[in-house]
Structure 1
Amino acid sequence: MKIAFVGKGGSGKTTLSSLFVAHLAATGKPVLAIDADINQHLAVALGATEEEALAWPTLGDNMALIKEYLRGDNPRVPDVAVMIKTTPPGRGSRLVTPFEDNPITEACFRQLGGVRLGVTGQFDEDDLGVACYHSKVGAAELLLNHMIDVEGEYVVMDMTAGADAFASGLFTRFDVTFLVCEPTVRSVGVYRQYADYARDFGVRLVVVGNKVTDAEDVDFLREQVGEALLGWLENSRHVRAAERGTTRPIGELEPHNLATLDAMLATVDAEQRDWARYQRQGVEFHLRNARAWGSGRAGADLAEQVDPGFVLAPPALATQDA
């Protein structure tokens, strides 16, 4: 299952995603996590030191490697020079699974507290005024477009805050998107903006409240987001410590907050992916990107990269292995 965390800046999105990832790992679930936020704090939230986090290899810096490996011998993609973040897999592409060992995982991922963790890379001073952060996130998008995960495997991404999470087709790559919402008018406004985007593409959007202090906060969230509200995290010493970057054993989390994490996991496990629809959405956003900028930049018609007879699904992986 692929899971995303989105929300307003400062809502506690990274804190909640790190608690959920830690909960998965503590219960023995295999989990691959990717920090795709413009502010890269997930590694520290999961227990890395600041020095370790700064030295973490990045997907963005390894885009050339990722393209070359995933391209395989797909005849529709003759060269990595014409491969963009939305290039869909086809026959001959090299498909990956979340927990295999390959050149991408060796270069870009490390183990941390029972979690396989990768980061897209942060926006730094050299990027100011000349670069777009989405170019870094594009490495993660390309990887997810070629990744086949099965029941019992969890891929969790901490997305960038605000509407930028919808700046590419990446938001359609997830089975469940958890929107972290504070009991404030501004945070609810962000939820409504997200809900409008998600509705048009059939994205499963679920709200989890955060920084809840009393019954009035809960009533406010229920009134504003209705049935989309799955649960909430109550303010606690454990959650506040997580907000400060202090890692504590997930088993020490308060019972109500643990119950919310359990409800989130149950929601994820209840989803069934439609692989054909997943492929169609990936192709749709590739064609949008091709028309808008990709074909012009590549000097080739990138619509020709679409393999109409291919569906990304477990049988395709079996064919590749054969």
Structure 2
Amino acid sequence: MKIAFVGKGGSGKTTLSSLFIRHLAANKAAVVAVDADINQHLGAALGLNENESAQLPAMGAQLPLIKDYLRGSNPRITSADSMIKTTPPGTGSRLLRVREDNPVYEACARPITLDGTEVRLMATGPFAESDLGVACYHSKVGAVELCLNHLVDGQDEYVVVDMTAGSDSFASGMFTRFDMTFLVAEPTLKGVSVYRQYRDYAKDFGVALKVVGNKVQGREDVEFLRDQVREDLLVTVGHSDWVRSMEKGRPARFELLEAHNRVSLQRLQDAADDAYALRDWARYTEQMVHFHRKNAESWGNAKAGVDLAAQVDPDFVLHERLATPQPA
């Protein structure tokens, strides 16, 4: 299943996404973690040092390889150059799976061992000085969207994406790629403002959204969040000595994380599992096609010089039954 963590800058979404990834690893789940934030801190939150984090390969830099691999033998895609971030898979396309080795993972992912379980970590790459004034960050997350469009995941497989702050996720259709979106909100008016934006944008697309209250100090904070977000409040997280040690670079064994926080993380996993069980694969594919047509008409056709709507395979539906690995 595919899971996103979103929220206002400074809300603690990277910390909570890293805790969730550690929780999944402790449960021996298969995990692909993706840092899609403009500020790349997920690697450090998962225990990488500064040098190791800086050496993570940038997905954006590997976009030609990603396109060429995913294109496969799809006759509707005349060249890898004609693919854009929303290009959907079709007959002949290569698909990605969580539990496989492929050229995309080889080029873009790095293994990290957490609690004896190896997870794959991928990153869009930082917003460099050379990008200033000439690029937007959405051009970097295009590689993530393309991979998510071609990724077949199962009930016991998890793709966890630490998204960019605020409501920037709605600059593309990527927000519809997730079975569950966890919005991390502090118990303040500013903290819940992003929730309202996200809720209003997402409601027409059936996006499953739950709020994780963070930095909660007592009953008054819990009541405030419940009053503001009502039934969308799933769990709250308070002070953690374990997290404080982690942020100092001295994490204890994950099994020593406070019991109430371990319970909250399990509730997140349960909610994600429940949401995946309700996935409508036909609608999931239709949304992918919808945003591809919109992007093609808005800017893609002019950039590629061809009608990108022709890339849509009307008979293709992404589905879990396609999860059997294909030869590279």
Common topology (TM > 0.5): yes
Of 107-116 and 237-246, deviating more is: 237-246
Work out whether 1:139 is the aligned partner of 2:143: yes
Distance 1:319 1:243 in 2: 38
Instruction: Report the counterpart of residue 121 of structure 2 in structure 1.
Output: 117
Q: 1:225 and 2:229 equivalent?
A: yes
What SS class does the counterpart of residue 212 from structure 1 fall into?
coil
1:242-275 CA distance string (max 9 Å, x none): 4556533221111111111011111111122111
Residue aligning to 1:129 = 133
Matched residue of 1:112: which SS?
A: strand
Query: Which residue in 2 is equivalent to 1:151?
Result: 155
Per mean C-alpha deviation after superposition, the further-off stretch among 67-76 and 108-117 is: 108-117
What is residue 50 of structure 2 aligned with on the other side? 50
Question: How far does residue 151 in structure 1 lie from its aligned partner after superposition?
Answer: 1.3
Q: Which amino acid in structure 2 is aligned with residue 251 of structure 1?
A: E
2:245 aligns with: 241
Q: Does structure 2 retain, via aligned residues, the 8 Å contact 1:38–1:122?
A: yes
Tell me the residue number matched to 2:308: 302
Q: Distance in 2 between matches of 1:247 and 1:220?
A: 31
Partner of 1:285: 291
**Aligned Cα RMSD in Å?**
1.3
Structure 2 SS opposite 1:162: coil
Separation (CA, whole Å) in 2 of partners of 1:54 and 1:319? 31
**1:169 corresponds to which of 146, 159, 173:** 173
Letter in 2 for 1:44: A
Q: 1:135 to 1:106 in 2, by over 3 A?
A: same
TM-score normalized with structure 2 length = 0.95
% same residue: 60
Q: Tell me which amino acid in the other structure corresponds to 1:284.
A: H
The answer as to whether partners of 1:56 and 1:119 remain within 8 angstroms in 2 is: yes
Describe the SS at the equivalent of 1:116.
strand
Deviations 1:195-218 (A, max 9, x none): 001101110000000001111111
The CA distance in 1 between the partners of 2:213 and 2:247, in whole Å, is 15
For 1:140-193, what per-residue CA distance to the aligned partner results, in whole angstroms no more than 9, with x for missing partners? Answer: 110110010111001100000011121111110000000000000001111101
**Aligned partners of 2:240 and 2:320: how far apart in 1?**
42
Contact conserved, 2:109 with 2:120, CA < 8 A, in 1? Answer: yes
SS in 2 for 1:63: helix
- Match for 1:147: what amino acid? L
Asked if 2 retains the 8 angstrom alpha-carbon contact of 1:211 and 1:235, the reply is: yes
Q: CA deviation at 1:236?
A: 2.1
Change (3 A) 1:5 1:296: same
Query: Deviations along 1:112-136, whole A, 9 cap, x unmatched?
Result: 1221111111101000000111111
Distance 1:318 1:49, change over 3 A: closer
Aligned equivalents of 1:184, 1:245: Cα separation in 2: 28
Report the Cα distance in structure 2 between the residues aligned to 1:29 and 1:279, rounded to whole angstroms. 26
Structure 1, gaps ≥5 residues long: none
What letter matches 1:51 in structure 2? N
Q: 1:216 to 1:319 in 2, by over 3 A?
A: closer
Instruction: State the number of aligned residues.
Output: 321
The equivalent residue for 1:192 is 196
